[in-house]
Homo-oligomer: A and B are copies of this chain.
Amino acid sequence: MGTTQLESVPEPKYWHLKTVLSEALDSEFSVGEILPNERDLAARFGVARATLRQALEQLELEGRLQRRRGVGTTVAPPRVGVAVGTEQHDWPGSGDDAWQPVDCVQAAPPAGVAAALEIPSGEAVHIVRRSRMSHGQLVATELLHIPAASVPDLTAIDAPSGPARARAVLRELQHLELEGQDRAVELGSARADDARDLDRLPGAPVLMVTTRFFAEGRTAALSVATYRADTCRLTFGDSPGVEIHHDPEQQAS
């Protein structure tokens, strides 16, 4: 695999090792295969174990390797493109939404969320928890914050909690006219409960997608979604996802 070096720069040792390892992954290993242990790998490439570990961390960040407790380090399949931005603007829960409601509670959101919703700090909102599957795997969890003012006709009678309650809240939300939405993507670390659902360790790097839904001239709902960063590539636009970080042979498998 060729590399594009526009300018000659001094590269740290682990960086060079990463390139060599990356080529070895392409030529000698198949997806899902377990790598030899660190001691053997370090010996094979003639490097210190600390250097090896840094190179393995890089490859994990780039989605080439997965490290799982009790399994070891395996060759990761290509990242899955997960559509996040679409041309049409819809309320959560409408149409062919990729998200499944899991639960719904009433609680005060974090201060930052309250500020974004322009509600007093400490005021309870509906918090719908949802999860998203893609290719048979849980790829994201979401907390959707909906102030009481956005669902004024909601009754507590028929579904006090659980997925049924979540669906009732989302159904009420559809009565508002959605005026627009915007999104932000940033790096984050997995909270303990999200990490458990996503099969990651607490604190693992994740992609946080914050979506504001506008109605009646204000932010009527705010979604904070946590995507696995190791297996997901977030796609925006109507075309199928872009695949550039893996070898074509590996993509086909």
- By a beta-carbon cutoff of 8 Å, the part of chain A in contact with chain B is 1-7, 9-12, 14-15, 18, 54, 57-58, 61-63, 79, 81, 84-85, 103, 105, 107-113, 115-116, 121-122, 127, 129, 143, 180-189, 192-193, 196, 202-203, 205, 207-208, 210-212, 214, 222, 224, 229-230, 232-239, 241-248
- With contact pairs A203-B54, A229-B187 given, residues A10 and B192 touching in the complex (Cβ less than 8 Å): yes
- With contact pairs A184-B236, A222-B244 given, residues A3 and B110 touching in the complex (Cβ less than 8 Å): yes
Q: Say how many copies of this protein the assembly contains.
A: 2
Residues of B within 8 A of A127 (CB): 4, 6
Taken together as a complex, chains A and B put the C-alpha atoms of A245 and B222 apart, in Å, by 13
Taken together as a complex, chains A and B put the C-alpha atoms of A105 and B112 apart, in Å, by 45
Contacts A15-B203, A210-B244 given; 13 further ones with Cβ under 8 A? A1-B111, A2-B121, A4-B110, A5-B193, A6-B103, A15-B192, A111-B247, A113-B244, A180-B238, A184-B233, A185-B207, A186-B233, A212-B239
